[in-house]
Amino acid sequence: MIADRLDITGSRWTVPGAEAVLTLRTVISNGDFPDYWIFHAQKEHERLHPLTDQHIYALQA
């Protein structure tokens, strides 16, 4: 199954790309995709919108 996907004529796979596809297919086949997607969306939000350091500064007048 994996070789069929990676051996498509004309496709080029990097190791990280192939591992990502394999991981996703495994998560889907195990039935864990809904939980994984919630986790992934949360981590992606944290990556795109990092917390600032505002909480460590005191306001001065």
What is d(CA 52, CA 9) in angstroms, rounded to the nearest whole number?
A: 46
Task: Look at residue 7 and give its three-state secondary structure.
Answer: coil
Angle, nearest 10°, between helix axes 33-48 and 15-29?
140
- Cβ atoms of 18 and 6 within 8 Å: the answer is yes
Asked, for residue 18, whether it belongs to a domain, the answer is yes
Question: Residues with Cβ < 8 Å from 21, sequence gap 6 or more?
Answer: 5, 13
pLDDT in tens, 3-53: 666 666 667 888 898 899 899 999 999 999 999 999 999 999 988 887 777
The count of domains in the chain is 1
Question: Residues with Cβ < 8 Å from 36, sequence gap 6 or more?
Answer: 27
| Domain interval for residue 41 | 2-49
Looking at residue 27, what is its pLDDT? 96
Asked, for residue 61, whether it belongs to a domain, the answer is no
Asked, for residue 55, whether it belongs to a domain, the answer is no
Looking at residue 28, what is its pLDDT? 95
